[in-house]
Amino acid sequence: MVYYTALGSYEPILRIADGDTVLTTTVSYDGRDASDQQVTPGGTNPLTGPFYVEDAKPGDTLAIHFDKLWPSRRLGRSFTVLAPNVVDPRYVREMPPRHPGLVAEWELDLKNGTATLIKPDTMLGQLTLPLKPMLGCFGVAPPNGQAISSATSGAYGGNMDYNGFVTGVTVYFPVFVSGGLLFLGDGHALQGDGEIAGSGIEVSFDVRFTVKLLKDKKINWPRAENEEYILTIGNARPLDQALQHATTEMVKWLQEDFALDARTIHILLGQCVEYDVGNVFDPAYTMVCKLNKTLLPSKK
Amino acid sequence: MVYYTALGSYEPILRIADGDTVLTTTVSYDGRDASDQQVTPGGTNPLTGPFYVEDAKPGDTLAIHFDKLWPSRRLGRSFTVLAPNVVDPRYVREMPPRHPGLVAEWELDLKNGTATLIKPDTMLGQLTLPLKPMLGCFGVAPPNGQAISSATSGAYGGNMDYNGFVTGVTVYFPVFVSGGLLFLGDGHALQGDGEIAGSGIEVSFDVRFTVKLLKDKKINWPRAENEEYILTIGNARPLDQALQHATTEMVKWLQEDFALDARTIHILLGQCVEYDVGNVFDPAYTMVCKLNKTLLPSKK
Amino acid sequence: MVYYTALGSYEPILRIADGDTVLTTTVSYDGRDASDQQVTPGGTNPLTGPFYVEDAKPGDTLAIHFDKLWPSRRLGRSFTVLAPNVVDPRYVREMPPRHPGLVAEWELDLKNGTATLIKPDTMLGQLTLPLKPMLGCFGVAPPNGQAISSATSGAYGGNMDYNGFVTGVTVYFPVFVSGGLLFLGDGHALQGDGEIAGSGIEVSFDVRFTVKLLKDKKINWPRAENEEYILTIGNARPLDQALQHATTEMVKWLQEDFALDARTIHILLGQCVEYDVGNVFDPAYTMVCKLNKTLLPSKK
Amino acid sequence: MVYYTALGSYEPILRIADGDTVLTTTVSYDGRDASDQQVTPGGTNPLTGPFYVEDAKPGDTLAIHFDKLWPSRRLGRSFTVLAPNVVDPRYVREMPPRHPGLVAEWELDLKNGTATLIKPDTMLGQLTLPLKPMLGCFGVAPPNGQAISSATSGAYGGNMDYNGFVTGVTVYFPVFVSGGLLFLGDGHALQGDGEIAGSGIEVSFDVRFTVKLLKDKKINWPRAENEEYILTIGNARPLDQALQHATTEMVKWLQEDFALDARTIHILLGQCVEYDVGNVFDPAYTMVCKLNKTLLPSKK
């Protein structure tokens, strides 16, 4: 099986249709599968896909509902040093040395939903954390014949590393090419905000998702919703620019789908908007703009 | 009574001591008091203070516990247009016109803790939101003889506009000058993340706070704690740099007060850190780095 | 003839070898040729190429010497409104309206080397400027199977829009794929620093260039030299990050090729470095780091 | 004599009037005078001043012409390691160690106008560079009762560290307080672009300047002119924002003083603007926007 390390207009591995549910698997960022076997070169988020969605055309929107995201093996790995770009430049010299081979290992209890640090020893004693399984990198083929590394992100999605992309969330992407061409990978058993150590707890995943095709529905940046919130995602550097993209997309969403005028939207967002920080590690940073659904009128 | 619009080494209005509790009031950003009377020129956060804390010296830390933060009048005001720096540059042309005189008005129900938009009419019908009273601007005199506008922020605090600074929170500031010289103001009945419309629901406040002096305790950026979290605050532009300051200060806090080694801290923060966005409107932006207290060992 | 609007691993249009000189042409950003005929869809810098350089392998460096860069027609076009991202966000509302169809037209005197504004009328009377013909977008195929839009730039080159890339300059690119795969386009008869109106004076070009292959010579970012300077180029946002890339690459160049130790380099650059601003309009900004050749020891 | 390390509304050391020429001296950043004696605590640019200009009122503009800027002693000092914020975060770990006490020393030949590195030894042999004496930090008292450290900069000037501020240049500042209150200091015998090692060749200076008061002339950011150019200066982080301030101020200058319409200005700047990088070391970065005087119509 082939895993791509870029999102582009590659040969589909499966053709699916509006409403279809897909069960698939992803390898961890380092190319290891559910048996922890190296099945593809690692290091840059090998992705499963692309999935071609019948009848998806540029100008449509593709909705991906995550029915279930769950680790498929008991061993997860994470990096052990913060990225030099998330700390004060003057502090970088004081950081612990970075041994490329040194990774932390976590034992995942997939039944009870916990991760326990088994290596290296730390001063915290036994560290057990609740799982919050998420996909770090997924999206569609970008426009204009491009193929863009799964290390970064953009309007087409990609490596957003947002820990809110969990089971139950629906994510919307603009369709830029025929079939949309959906890719998924880079599962994290859990991850702190920002992915500031350069990794979550990296592990292979079982994924069940359902696609829906919204014809003639144009969006500019990824959107999402969960039970509580509608969300928009901006990917850029600096974080200020990612926030600008996400905020502007939220304004447009409220204008288009909820028929609110600009004045209403500006007043509402001013006092009610929330932001989450996606990754601040990858070439493009990710900011998430959120609005609680209780504040929304019914859709027009 | 004099209200300063800069944090600097001004004549104290009161001398207080370690452990003292102070009841005071603040005017709203526009210089209006609890009777909505203009008592001082407005527009740039007139501040109450400075309070001189006996025995506070450079190299100490001043802890401010907010015993109670609550609006002192029933009329709040907010701006009605998003700041041009929080949206895509290309979208700025499409924004609703900005009338300097046009502010939204909110009726505050101080007993039940709600704010209801009374002007202008919006497409949302009656909009009633729960209060979450906070102070937007507070801090100490900066070092080096400086006096810095209450419109911005830095290592000394200032206009951070973080909606997590509510009743029950303790905030720690580095002491840069004798007495520390504490200032407070810019109360918001509630505020969305980022203060993206350039204001919260601005109102005068009643404030009760208790100071504690930590002798010979040196910190570099504001720190805080509430029941659930310890927090560090970075103020700078771009947001990336604010995040660097806050993250580095969190690393140092864990090293100094919890006697954790760097490797433990990096692993812990990598998978457990959380970020909140303070303001993205003022000259300096604010990022808050958080760690859940359940993850901490007991203090050394 | 096909023109690509992304730099990627496409079928070469010509195979050339170390030392070869190539005469070719480029269309203007809008897909128009030397007869001002639309020969390919425009708007995103259609590029000539790719040229496959025999024996070029990842880990080598490709040197492109511009023997001659010159406009091939007498009509150039430029945009007439500054980009909203180069002015204060609050000023954007005051800018002149943007009519997508409205472009300025310039009459190029290719013999005497001048451009004269012929449309629209301005308050400057006749505006005649000396030509400084440059290529805005050129580079090699990026690594990892990527194909990246000719609207942006990176370590592989791309849309750098630096007005120092003129006749007589040699530019060095890292080779990421077999053959290197060189692309060129987006000629400007002249351009202000930063390309702040979103265009230079856009025109088709005649190009004569000579390639040289530096085997087993690894660089990280584009480098260049002209008679006076050695130059390194960083592409990223914000400009601060582009400057970091360019400065670091200059340090490494001086270490590797001139056998200077780090201390010497830091002292030298501190008092002698120069910077030029490339584009501040495209998705990635460009900063150029320069050192005068008179300051260099002979190559090791 | 007192030297301030902040620009604020301090007691004037001299009252001068429109047209007056002043001969004065400045100490080097480390508080040393022409005899290399420590006369004031150093480290943060002790400044000479303030000079009160009779009749200067908020809303006026103060013009400072540098008749002569020249080092007043033969020993200059510079730092020997690049600032960690001007290189790639990953490169910081590789930089030479930073010994706070280690500074380079330069012998200044004040007659022939050269600086020769005398310590430490480098791999360059004898390094002799032409002097280009400039002031790094000067400006007026900021508005609103503020006093801001001479380590940073803003609309009032301050620590801009632009190597174009040399003899013969006229710099214009907005007047924010009565008398304007001019400060000067931080002389550099020469300095690379960006002040990327955190210093120029730091030395005490003899300064002769002439002030001119432009009544009822309001500007927003520092402006300047030399024989060839008009210049505007933006101070902020990131560099992108400094560029926005400088560019917007240039647009306004051309509108107000040269009576050009917006369309003319945008077309002209698009193809003719030039940028210089001021400091990229201090808390606020500095970008300079330039337009060649040959392109200007006569003043209205």
User: What does R_g of chain C's alpha carbons equal in angstroms?
Assistant: 19
Please name the residue of chain B whose CA is at the shortest distance from the CA of residue D284: B237
d(CA C120, CA A197): 54
Please determine, for residue D299, whether its predicted confidence score (pLDDT) is greater than 70: no
Average pLDDT over residues D61-77: 98
Residue D153: list chain B partners with CB under 8 A.
none
* Contact at CB, D241 and B237, closer than 8 angstroms: yes
Chain B contacts to C (CB-CB under 8 A): 83-85, 89-90, 92-93, 95, 98, 238
The CA distance from C243 to C252, in Å, is 14
Tell me what pLDDT residue A171 has: 98
Q: Are A240 and B237 in contact (CB under 8 A)?
A: yes
The chain D residue lying nearest C91, using CA atoms, is D248
What are φ and ψ of residue D253, in 5° steps? -60, -45
Give the number of A-B residue pairs with CB atoms closer than 8 Å.
200
Q: Using one digit for the tens of pLDDT, what is the confidence trace for A71-106?
A: 999 999 999 999 999 999 999 999 988 776 689 999
D145–B44: do the CB atoms touch at under 8 Å? Answer: no
pLDDT band at A297 (very low <50, low <70, confident <90, very high): confident
Residue A182: pLDDT over 80 = yes
Residue A298 above 80 pLDDT? no
> Which partners does chain A have (≥3 C-beta pairs < 8 Å)?
B, C, D
DSSP state of A19: T
Residues facing B119 on adjacent strands: B105
Q: Of A171, A204, A208, nearest to A286 (Cα)?
A: A171
User: What confidence score (pLDDT) does residue C43 get?
Assistant: 82
Question: What value, to the nearest 5°, has the Cα angle with vertex B153 and ends B150 and B156?
Answer: 100
Q: How far apart are CA B153 and CA A223, in angstroms?
A: 33
Q: Look at residue D189 in the predicted model and tell me its pLDDT.
A: 98
- How far is D84 from chain A, CA to nearest CA, in Å? 5
Asked whether the predicted pLDDT for residue B100 surpasses 80, the reply is no
Which chain C residues are Cβ-neighbours of B95 within 8 angstroms?
93
Distance CA A7, CA A185 (A): 11
| Of B88, B195, B199, Cβ closest to residue A248 | B88
- Whether residue A268 and residue B297 make contact (CB cut-off 8 A), yes or no, is no
Cα torsion for D170, D189, D115, D287, to the nearest 10°?
Answer: -80
Q: How confident is the model at residue C96 (pLDDT cuts 50, 70, 90)?
A: confident
Cα distance between residue C211 and residue C19, in whole Å:
5
User: Is residue B300's pLDDT more than 70?
Assistant: no
- Average pLDDT (A238-267) is 97
Q: What is the predicted pLDDT for the residue at B299? A: 67
> Side-chain half-sphere of C231: how many Cα atoms within 13 Å?
25
Q: pLDDT band at residue A225, thresholds of 50, 70 and 90?
A: very high
Answer whether A89 sits within 8 Å of D84, measured CB to CB: yes
Q: Would you say residue C90 has pLDDT above 90?
A: yes
What subunits make at least 3 CB pairs under 8 angstroms with B? Answer: A, C, D
Q: Hey, are the CB atoms on C91 and D251 less than 8 Å from each other?
A: yes
- Substitution target in A92, A237, A240 with the highest count of D β-carbons within 10 Å is A92
Spell out the residues 6+ positions from residue A73 whose beta carbon is closer than 8 angstroms to its own. A33, A34, A35, A36, A108, A203, A204
- For residue range A28-51, list pLDDT tens digits in order: 999 999 999 999 998 889 999 999
Taking each continuous run of H as one helix and of E as one strand, the counts in chain C are 2, 20
Q: CB distance D146–B145 less than 8 Å?
A: no
Closest residue in chain B to residue A86, using alpha carbons only: B244
Helix (H) or strand (E) holding B248, with range, is helix B239-258
Chain A residues whose beta carbon lies within 8 Å of the beta carbon of residue D83: 89
CB pairs under 8 A between C and D: 200
Cross-chain CB nearest to D8 (options B5, B44, B147): B147
Contacts of C238 in chain A (CB under 8 A): 237-238
Please give the Cα distance from B55 to C187 (Å, whole number): 68
Per 3-state DSSP, chain A is made up of helix, strand and coil in percentages (nearest 5) of 15, 40, 45
Tell me: the pLDDT tens digits for C28-43? Answer: 999 999 999 999 998 8
- pLDDT per residue over C233-267, tens digit each? 999 999 999 999 999 999 999 999 999 999 999 99
Confidence of residue B44 (pLDDT cuts 50, 70, 90): confident
| Residue C300: pLDDT band with limits 50, 70, 90 | low
- For an interface test with C, the pick among B90, B91, B281 (most C C-beta atoms closer than 10 Å) comes out as B90
Tokens of B127: 């909009």
pLDDT digits (tens, 9 = 90+) for A109-138: 999 999 999 999 999 989 999 999 999 999
Cis check: omega of the bond before B238, within 30 degrees of 0: yes
Q: Is the pLDDT of residue A299 over 70?
A: no
Q: Once rounded to an integer, what is the mean pLDDT over residues D107-118?
A: 98
Mutate to test the interface with B, among D146, D237, D239, D282 (most CBs of B within 10 A): D146
> Does pLDDT of D266 surpass 80?
yes
Say how many C-beta atoms besides its own lie within 10 A of residue D80's C-beta.
23
Q: What pLDDT, on the 0 to 100 scale, is given for residue B194?
A: 98
Q: Name the percent of chain A lying above pLDDT 70.
A: 99
Q: Which two tokens stand for residue C202?
A: 């856009």
Domains identified in chain B and CATH numbers: 11-220 (2.60.120.580), 223-294 (3.10.28.20)
Q: How confident is the prediction for chain C on average, in pLDDT?
A: 96
Share of residues in chain C with pLDDT > 70 (%): 99
What are the structure tokens assigned to A271, written together? 């006092």
Rounded CA-CA distance D121/D127 in Å is 10
> Is the CB of residue D140 less than 8 Å from the CB of residue D7?
yes
Q: Complex ipTM above 0.90?
A: yes
Q: Collect all residues from A whose CB is shorter than 8 A from any CB in C.
A: 4-6, 8, 44, 144-149, 236-238, 241
Averaged pLDDT score across all residues of chain D: 96
Cβ contacts from B onto C, under 8 A? 24
> How high is the pLDDT of residue C102?
83
Q: State the smallest CA–CA distance between residue C97 and chain B in angstroms.
A: 9
Using alpha carbons, select from A227, A243, A267 the residue that is nearest to residue B129.
A267
C-alpha to C-alpha distances, D186 to C158, D103, D158, D204, D278, nearest whole angstrom:
40, 16, 10, 8, 14
With H, G, I as helix, E, B as strand and everything else as coil, classify residue C137: strand
d(CA C156, CA D13): 56
The DSSP code for B278 is -
What does the pLDDT average to over D156-168?
A: 98
At residue D122, does pLDDT exceed 60? yes
Q: For residue A184, give the nearest of A135, A255, A128 by alpha carbon.
A: A135
- The B-side interface with D (CB below 8 A) comprises 4-6, 8, 44, 144-149, 236-238, 241
